[in-house]
Amino acid sequence: MAVFPRPAHPRAVIADVRRLWSTSTRRYKLVFGAAAIGVTSLLITIFILESRWGVLPEGPQVVYVSDWPVTRTDAEIKAQQRIDATEKRKLADERRRQWQKVDRNLDRLGF
């Protein structure tokens, strides 16, 4: 019992495509079919190219860290945490303000 169908010969495939092209009264199907094949080919090509070269720059990756002295007191730690929290809150407020501006523009356009 055959599980897979027998493969078609290239001449048979070409003959079927020619017959479909010449007898089809609805050419928009062929146009959209060609567009679908083109978009799919483009996406596959992009994935292949991206997998070969990647998106990260080559070379060593630099990571910056803070180095603290061992003699740092709990009060200094808490003071630095307050400064960091204030800075983080300012950044979050700025980001929220930017998104609110985008939301107002979308509301104005009816979205």
> Residue 87 domain-assigned?
yes
pLDDT of the residue at 59: 81
pLDDT of the residue at 79: 96
Check whether residue 83 and residue 49 sit in a common domain: no
> Residue 65 domain-assigned?
no
What residues make up the domain containing 17? 10-54
pLDDT of the residue at 24: 62
**C-alpha to C-alpha distance for 52 and 66, rounded to whole angstroms:** 35
Specify the number of domains making up the chain. Answer: 2
Check whether residue 84 and residue 50 sit in a common domain: no
- Single out the residue of 101, 79, 80, 82 nearest to residue 90, CA to CA: 82
* Distance from chain centroid for Cα 21: 36
pLDDT of the residue at 13: 85
Residues of the chain below pLDDT 50? none
> Residue 41 domain-assigned?
yes
**C-alpha to C-alpha distance for 59 and 38, rounded to whole angstroms:** 35
> Residue 66 domain-assigned?
no
pLDDT of the residue at 78: 96
> Residue 99 domain-assigned?
yes
pLDDT of the residue at 25: 62
Check whether residue 47 and residue 80 sit in a common domain: no
> Residue 102 domain-assigned?
yes
> Residue 5 domain-assigned?
no
> Residue 4 domain-assigned?
no
